[in-house]
Amino acid sequence: MNDMNALRAEVDHRYKIGELVEKRDDLAFLECGKVDIPDVLVYLRDHQGYVHLSFITCIDRLEEGQFELVYMLRNHEAKHDLGIKTYIDRENPVMESTHGHWAAVATYQRELREMFGIEFPGCPRVEESFALESWEGPPPMRRDFDTKKYSEETYFPRPGRETNDPADHMKKTQYPGRADL
């Protein structure tokens, strides 16, 4: 805990950060304003040993009208993971690209753009499909995306196709003649 408090104090001296939350001895999270994210990430990489970006992820805080972005960093020497969290507006989701800091960032940002609709201006190839080639619908990982409605509107019923209750279907096809099921 003392090492993490010292790290928090050092980072807070340079940038305005929020509370330090330690989940385990080897895992902690810091909250940071979105404008400071690029500088905080570089500082942690270059001066605190968090040289590996493990991933970037997004949590849809629909009720708060925000996306929570989490940049997960690894300090291999200290065997410690540090998540840097920030919040961006859900209605105008734009975040400064940090693709110049780690090679993998551009890939994570492409994924977040495709799945959540977050824009990363200046990120190379961010407009290219990541996993959803020819996708025409809204970003599918947003919590207000209605999967059932999208499927019903997009994938029409095919002639000859039946819908079966799985339990009844299994009784008929796998266990015919067994009335005890």
- The bridge status of strand 17-24 relative to strand 80-89 is unpaired
pLDDT at 129 (0 to 100):
79
CA distance linking residue 120 with residue 95, whole number of Å:
5
pLDDT at 163 (0 to 100):
75
pLDDT at 181 (0 to 100):
67
Structural domain tally of the chain? 1
E strand or H helix that includes residue 112: helix 105-116
Q: Is residue 52 part of a domain?
A: yes
pLDDT at 1 (0 to 100):
46
Q: Is residue 164 part of a domain?
A: no
pLDDT in single tens digits along all 181 residues of the chain:
458 888 888 887 888 888 889 999 899 999 999 999 999 999 999 999 999 999 999 999 999 999 999 999 999 999 999 999 999 999 999 999 998 899 899 999 999 999 999 999 988 887 887 888 888 888 999 999 998 888 888 877 777 777 778 888 888 888 887 767 6
CA distance linking residue 87 with residue 32, whole number of Å:
8
Give the range of the structural domain holding residue 8, as residue numbers without chain letter. 2-158
pLDDT at 78 (0 to 100):
92
Q: Is residue 175 part of a domain?
A: no
Q: Is residue 98 part of a domain?
A: yes
Q: Is residue 178 part of a domain?
A: no
Burial class (CB in 10 A: 0-12, 13-18, 19+), 68: middle
Q: Is residue 177 part of a domain?
A: no
DSSP letter at 103 equals T
Q: Is residue 26 part of a domain?
A: yes
pLDDT at 4 (0 to 100):
82
Q: Tell if the pTM clears 0.85, that is, is over it.
A: no
CATH number for the domain spanning 103: value is 3.30.460.80
Q: Is residue 64 part of a domain?
A: yes
CA distance linking residue 51 with residue 74, whole number of Å:
6
Q: Give the torsion sign (CA, 144, 83, 43, 41).
A: negative
